[in-house]
Structure 1
Amino acid sequence: MYQPKIKRYQKEFEYSYAFGAYPVFDLLKQYPDKVYKVLLSKYGLGSDGIKEVEGICKEKNIYIEVSDRLIQKIAVKENTYAVGVFKKYELNILENENHIVLVNPSNMGNLGTVVRTMLGFGLKDLAIIRPGADIFDPLVIRATMGAIFNIRFEYFNSIEEYLERFPKQNIYTFMLKGSKSINEVKFVKPYSLIHGNESKGLDDSYINFGQSVYIPHSKEIDSLNLSVATSISIWEASKEN
């Protein structure tokens, strides 16, 4: 079987890395056919998490290599005891499901946190409007704590392309100039919760798409962090269930 060269991740690679025992375990459970191999550190051998990884590798006949040298070569954090090396894959988000839509997200940590939060509330479809952070970057994958392997995600070249694909979605755009407070909005399924990027948010044109919404907060701050705002919108929408 082809084995990619182990070196620091670059966006143009056709493969990526999952760091940490539990993200690797989720990768192995959901996409065993995409895994080239698993790297283990000798310092983690014998721990419960690593035993689980070893068990599923044996079950799925996935090659394990114990090599601290290779892990240190690519790790983004110290004390990394497991790395899954896997082929990138493409997915399509589904119709008639609730969507999270991120317009030009740029921060890896925020993107990863959004993925983890949406899965925590049962949402599994994420649309990313280009340009946007690379969801396969190991920093994003680590921030999701493995949740990335349990959702569907898809990139779109524009919001218009997304809306054309999903004309039946009920659209809610979150912006400082929103016409309704989130406390006044009734979220109707299937809904799309649309958030802008960390520095600019959504521009004024988004007022024309569906229902614009603002999240009340103290005047002591200009705006909320993207992952925080998205989490609040997910929580409020989930209360309609």
Structure 2
Amino acid sequence: MYFGLEGCRGLHGNTSRTMLSKNTLKYLTSLRQKKYRDRYEVFVAEGPKLIQDLIAAGLKLESLYTTDSSVFSEMTSEVISAAELKKISNQKTPNTAFAIFKRKSVTELKEQGLVLALDSIQDPGNLGTIMRLADWFGVNDIVCTQESADCYNPKVVQASMGSLARVQLHYMADLPAWLAQTDLPVYGGFMQGENVYQTALPENAVLVMGNEGQGISKEASASIDTKLSIPNFGAGQESLNVATATAVLLSEFKRSIGK
């Protein structure tokens, strides 16, 4: 293990009480930074349910630290104190368990079905929620600009609620160029556009969602075939949160297919 992690004893039901060494503590806290997550090709997940969901989905567990070993009776875990968990946790209120997982392999982007394209979605909570939505609506592939939040950011991982294991993100240096060359029809979410509730939507398409503050860039907009809007039936709000808008549009794509 990196930085000399202590106490590993196989894979089924082995638990030991340990104190985190300075090197281990340094390694675990370094993973708050993208450059170290990239270097070691790992990510952090916290909380028994999320950790168990990721394991059940087939992701490889590298190490597991917990204040309650009874929750993980069938796998290797290192029992640490609540004070130690607080030192390594990314949460204000740590949730009894902290795990390091190896990243999953990147699969090839399949330009079929509904593909979601994210133009600089920078808020980790929004990205994690959009990943959950993609998982819910059966969208396997999400294309992102390099400016989008890192899908392995601890806040994204927590917000994705295990969907990280089931959807594939593809980070691209030039999203507009990809949109220009794809054979799929390209739709985009805009404040002004065709009423999504009155538009027939195809099974195979790209749906582009834009940055929280700026929307879809001009460069990406140039390749959008159809602009979709969600009509405002009230008078108190000027816009929807991007994750909320994504939920509505994904739902309408799936509903249109089922007609």
Both proteins in one fold, TM over 0.5:
yes
Query: TM-score if structure 2 supplies the norm length?
Result: 0.79
Per-residue CA distance 1:140-169 (angstroms, 9 max, x = gap)? 11011111111111111122343256x222
User: What CA distance in whole angstroms lies between the structure 2 residues aligned with 1:32 and 1:110?
Assistant: 23
**What per-residue deviation string (whole Å, max 9, x for no partner) do you get for residues 174-217 of structure 1?**
11232x11112211121111110111111455164211111111
Counterpart in 2 of 1:100? 116
Partner residue, 1:60: none
The percent of aligned pairs where both chains have the same amino acid is: 22
Q: Is 1:12 aligned with 2:27? A: no
- Partner of 1:7, secondary structure, is helix
Distance 1:208 1:37 in 2: 44
What one-letter code is carried by the residue in structure 1 that aligns with 2:63? K
Matched-pair contact (CA < 8 Å) for 1:169–1:189: no
TM-score where L is the length of structure 1: 0.84
Match among 220, 233, 243 for residue 227 of structure 1:
243
Name the count of aligned residue pairs. 225
Match of residue 153 from structure 2: 137
Which residue in 2 is equivalent to 1:175? 190
Larger RCO (CA under 8 A, 6+ residues apart): 1
User: Measured at CA, do residues 32 and 115 of structure 1 come closer, stay the same or move farther in structure 2, by a change above 3 Å?
Assistant: closer
Structure 1 residue 201 corresponds to structure 2 residue 215: yes
Question: AA paired with 2:166?
Answer: N
Q: RMSD of aligned C-alpha atoms?
A: 2.1
Runs of at least 5 residues in structure 2 that lack an aligned partner in the other structure: 6-23
Change (3 A) 1:11 1:155: same
Structure 1 runs, 4 residues or longer, greater than 4 Å off: 1-4
After TM superposition, list the pairs within 5 Å mapping 1:1-241 onto structure 2.
Answer: 1-2=1-2, 3=5, 5-8=27-30, 9-13=32-36, 14=40, 15-33=42-60, 35-42=61-68, 45-46=69-70, 50-51=71-72, 54-55=73-74, 57=75, 63-68=76-81, 69-77=83-91, 78-92=93-107, 93-163=109-179, 167-178=182-193, 180-204=194-218, 206=221, 208-217=223-232, 218-240=234-256, 241=258
Tell me how far apart the structure 2 counterparts of residues 126 and 74 of structure 1 sit (CA, whole Å). Answer: 30
CA contact (8 A) 1:40 1:64 kept: yes
Amino acid at match of 1:200: Q
